[in-house]
Amino acid sequence: MNKPAGAPDWFDAVVVGAGFSGLYMLYRLRRLGLSVKVFDSAGDVGGTWYWNRYPGARCDIPTTDYAYSFDPELEKEWTWSEKYATQPEILDYLRFVADRYGLRADIELSTSVTSAHWDEQERRWSIVTDRGTRLRCRYYIMASGCLSMPKSLDIKGTDRFAGNVYFTSRWPHEGVDFTGQRVAVIGTGSSGIQAIPLIARQASQLTVFQRTPNFSVPAHNGPAPADRLTRLAQDREEYRDAARWSPGGVPVEPTGILGVTASETVARERFEDAWRAGQLFSILGVFADQGVNPASNKIVADMIREKIRSIVHDPWTADALCPKDHYFGTKRPCLDTGYFETYNLPHVRLVDLHRQPITSITEDGIDTADESFGFDAIVYATGFDAMTGAVEAVDVTGRDGLSLTEKWAAGPSTYLGLMTAGFPNFFMITGPGSPSVLSNMAVSIEQHVDWVADCLKDMSAEGFETIEPTPLAESGWDQHVRDCGAITLHPTANSWYMGANVPGKPRVFLPYIGGVAVYRQVCDDVVAQDYLGFRRTGPGGERCRDGVIRRMQPDVSLVLQVMAEMGLPPMETLSAGEARAMMALAAETRPPSPEVGEVTDGLMPGPAGDLPYRLYRPPSAGPHPVVVYFHGGGWVLGDLDSDDPLGRDLCVRSDAVIVSVNYRHAPEARFPAAAEDAFAALRWTAAHAAELGGIPGQIAVAGWSAGGNIAAVACQLARDADGPRVSGQLLICPVTDSDMTRPSYAENGDGYVLTTPLMHWFWNYYADQPDRGDPRAAPLRGNLDGLPPACVVTADFDPLRDEGLAYADALEASGAQVRRVRARGHTHTSVTMVGVVISGAPVRAEIAEALRNFFPSAP
Ligand code: NAP
């Protein structure tokens, strides 16, 4: 079709960026037969490796892994010279790739896209560049890199300096000779840490201005590692596939060893091995729990600090170089070559900006609160507006004039880090909400480019012209990204991952930390479910299967996966005795439970003999309100030990005395034994509150699962018996009815630990069919008038969810005050897994608050 005179040029796709991702995107789109135009503001291809030419610039993922894998022939034609190749070598590689596939013909260099506007009428993007070029395209793809937009200078007086100014991210092509010069370097991230040792070799004086000391590990660079080369030579595809299905995009076997339980010898061995390996994924994987558990993280961080102190001679400098304000790994750790050793040179000095902040850059140098420094050159290694900076640098306007910057004002929102609702046919390669910067970028880039190209191919085959995520799918993914970040230590750090390095940027954890393999599976699942969460339109109409791809908390999924791998027999195929033995065995591997003030075991009288109880006293001075707690286990399983972690957790969080009661179990003692015991325990505890260190009259009941069932029943019995007065009932995923036809049974009856067959097994042991409608078995069927305030906890993936909700509704309808706590993304059991399922902690904090509120007069 001929273009009318003056009309903008037309392309199927416009790609921004000619680095790793843009080049491969172009390659794939061309193979689909699409017309493509790639723009890059740089003078050549290479992206980040075009710009970051500072001395010492290298990759920090072994180069054997930091390379394209899409074409075996390409791999045969290129050999890396070093374990971590230099910037010039990587740039040569990318130039080689561009030439080998004849990509340059479609790339316009030294040109920036300034605006991209969606035309809803035409279903096209209108693109404008800084050279005034106007063109239109169907697909607009940002392959502009995660760390490509330098952070604006936020130091006073930067324009005053009369000497030479350099930015690591925009280094002069001709290089810089610092011989004989007094040089300042501001910034000690990866760029600064790589550049400083080399600048020190030339400068007559080098002063490093450090705001936050960083963890860095020696790269031990050298020839490309023989073991990797051998593995690649033996079975290249197997190796690349292992990378694609690994947590970080590099084939590393993740450890199951926990820092909190490892012996000192094991911890030391693992750390020293990682230090020797000189690889980020090794040092980040010394322990399985170092990214989530502060105690485990500290073991690794302490050992790194010990190394720094052993390298740096001057104790003051060594101490100032030791990171203390963030957990290891929460800011991107660095790989270095002789970084800490550089501070032993007589002409190198460290200025700790925490003690001596910069007041201004001056004409001659830098002024701090206490000193004036004179310099010939200042090097800024101050970082990037990461992940969103380059995308938002273009004026992107979607449907109905919605601007991307406005949409993302409170932080980016994406579906899979690939697209964002309201912006049809707009793709991001390694956008926020994808593993990107937490992974080997080469692997993540290929996965994204392949996904986009396959998606366009599918659209064309099915006659669709536009694709866009739905708001539901997008908010679900945003939530999942946040949930994954929230269980780690990352949100505690002022890192660029959190947007904290750029003044005014919303504080949001930007990348997806669920891992490369999990993420790849998610993307594949979305496609397999007919592009779940995407709306596709074309001349033939639209298709949309709306939904959320991951609703479960990430650590809950992990627990289910580990349990599945253990291959345990289904509980309902065991006898009660065998099931109890299996539970006891599982309890042995639990992590340490929270410390409380005091734990005492005792006996209280029950209707058919003494009932054992365990009392947890908070560390604070008493007396305290008292909560009588009943454990879970379907009236058959469980005891004082099974719910010990939860008892402790409730005690410290709610500042109440918890009296956990071991009631009689079925099948030895069937209905109504457990319910009768619960009421007896409530009465006895209320009568002896003062002796137990409690406040008389301030008694609540609580229980989980079947324990929630008898706690609810105890409240009804207490009301009918005119006492004791109960201040509140905490019902955690309670059994409230014997009807298994509610939708939550259909949705969650299989695969989430508590299954429909298991509930049948429990009921069969506990109560005869005619008894199951008795309100002492099914409290939902009782009279709910005049009951105490309640907190009802329900979990999304629990067959009992709907009967919990029904009980909350019915209580409310009868006039009781009800607080509902939704354990979002949890199963019936996961909320109670103290110390194992981290995402349960906020839910338990909410539960504890509800408990405290039962006792308004308590201090
Ligand atoms: P960065 O990690 O953000 O480091 C910037 C440094 O400048 C930090 O030490 C920061 O201190 C400091 N800084 C920023 N503003 C400052 C101010 N106003 N006053 C004083 N100090 C200031 O940036 P980067 O070193 O360029 O690295 C960014 C990322 O790029 C890396 O984390 C890595 O992912 C990637 N990278 C990779 C390689 C590689 O592959 N080898 C090399 C370079 C970069 P605060 O920490 O206190 O903010």
Residue 857 pLDDT class (50, 70, 90 cuts): low
Please compute the mean of the pLDDT values over residues 644-672 and round it to a whole number: 97
| Structure-token pair, residue 105 | 């013909």
Q: Are 211 and 154 in contact (CB under 8 A)?
A: no
CA distance 567 to 279: 34
Q: What is the pLDDT of residue 858?
A: 45
Q: Which pLDDT does position 746 carry in this prediction?
A: 97
Q: Which atom of ligand 1 is nearest to the CA of 380?
A: 7
pLDDT band of 7, cuts 50, 70, 90: low
In this predicted structure, which of 343-347, 722-726, 846-850 has the lowest mean pLDDT?
Answer: 722-726
Q: Whose CA is closest to atom 48 on ligand 1?
A: 501
- Dihedrals φ, ψ of 790, to 5°? -130, 155
Are 612 and 677 contacting, i.e. CB atoms less than 8 angstroms apart? Answer: no
Which residues, judged by CB distance below 6 Å to any ligand atom, belong to the binding site of ligand 1? 58-60, 147, 154-155, 186-192, 194, 211-212, 332, 353, 381-384, 437, 496, 501
CA of 647 to the centre of ligand 1 (A): 45
Asked if pLDDT for residue 1 goes beyond 50, the answer is no
Helix (H, G, I), strand (E, B) or coil at 121: coil
Q: Is the pLDDT of residue 859 over 50?
A: no
- Closest residue to atom 10 of ligand 1, CA basis: 187
Instruction: Give the closest residue (by CA) to ligand 1 atom 12.
Output: 187
Residue 177: CB atoms within 10 A of its CB come to: 8
From the alpha carbon of 353, which atom of ligand 1 is closest?
Answer: 20
The reported pLDDT for the residue numbered 854 is 97
Residue 89: CB atoms within 10 Å:
17
What's the whole-number mean pLDDT along residues 637-652? 96
Q: Which of 166, 169, 190 to mutate to test the pocket of ligand 1 (most atoms within 8 A of CB)?
A: 190
- Please give the Cα distance from 80 to 77 (Å, whole number): 10
pLDDT digits (tens, 9 = 90+) for 761-804: 999 999 999 999 999 999 999 999 999 999 999 999 999 999 99
- 827's enclosing H/E stretch is strand 818-827
- Residue 589: what pLDDT? 81
pLDDT at 254: 87
pLDDT tens column, 578-630: 999 999 988 888 888 899 999 999 999 999 999 999 999 999 998 999 999 99
pLDDT average, residue stretch 703-732: 97
The pLDDT of residue 591 is 82
- DSSP letter, residue 419: B
Q: Average pLDDT, stretch 825-833?
A: 97
Contacts with 149 (C-beta within 8 Å, 6 or more apart), sequence order = 384, 385, 389, 390, 393
Rounded Cα distance, 225 and 27, in Å: 30
Whose CA is closest to atom 31 on ligand 1?
A: 190
> Closest residue (by CA) to atom 35 of ligand 1?
190
State which of 50, 82, 147 you would mutate to test the pocket of ligand 1, scoring each by most atoms of that ligand within 8 A of its C-beta: 147
Name the amino acid, one letter, at 700: A
**Ligand 1 centroid to residue 296 C-alpha, Å:** 26
Contacts of 264 (CB under 8 A, 6+ apart): none
Distance 851 CA to ligand 1 centre (A): 45
Question: Does the structure show a pLDDT above 70 at 846?
Answer: yes
Q: Which two tokens stand for residue 274?
A: 């990682």
Q: What is the dihedral of CA 211, 213, 218, 223, to 10 degrees?
A: -30
pLDDT tens digit string along 349-384?
999 999 999 999 999 999 999 999 999 999 999 999
pLDDT of residue 282: 95
Ligand 1: which residue has its CA nearest to atom 2?
189
pLDDT digits (tens, 9 = 90+) for 316-325: 999 999 999 9
- In tens, the pLDDT along 77-131 reads 999 999 999 999 999 999 999 999 999 999 999 999 999 999 999 999 999 999 9
Preceding peptide of 469 cis, ω within 30°:
no
Is residue 701 within a helix (H) or strand (E), and if so which, with residue range?
Answer: strand 694-704
Nearest Cα residue to 139 out of 386, 459, 520: 459
Q: Which band of pLDDT confidence, cut at 50, 70 and 90, is reported for residue 451?
A: very high
Nearest residue (by CA) to ligand 1, atom 23, is: 383
**777: Cβ–Cβ under 8 A, 6 or more apart, which residues?**
671, 672, 675, 709, 713, 738, 766, 767, 771
Closest-CA residue, ligand 1 atom 3, reads: 383
Helices (H) and strands (E) in the chain — how many of each?
Answer: 26, 29
- How many angstroms separate the CA atoms of 443 and 2, rounded? 40
Label the pairing between strands 9-16 and 113-119.
unpaired
How confident is residue 229, by pLDDT bands cut at 50, 70 and 90? confident
Q: How many angstroms is it from 639 CA to the middle of ligand 1? A: 53
Give the pLDDT mean for 13-17. 98
**From the CA of 331, how far away is ligand 1's center (Å)?**
9
The Cα–Cα gap between 348 and 365 comes to 16
Q: Which residues of 153-171 are buried (b: 16+ CB within 10 A; e: fewer)?
A: eeeeeeeebebeebbbbeb
pLDDT for res 4? 59
Q: What is the pLDDT of residue 856?
A: 78
Q: What is the pLDDT of residue 438?
A: 97
Tell me, in angstroms, the distance from the centre of ligand 1 to residue 192's CA: 7
Average pLDDT, the chain: 96
Nearest CA to ligand 1 atom 4: 189
Residue 554 CA to ligand 1 center (angstroms) comes to: 29
Q: pTM above the 0.75 mark?
A: yes
Q: What is the mean pLDDT of residues 534-546?
A: 97
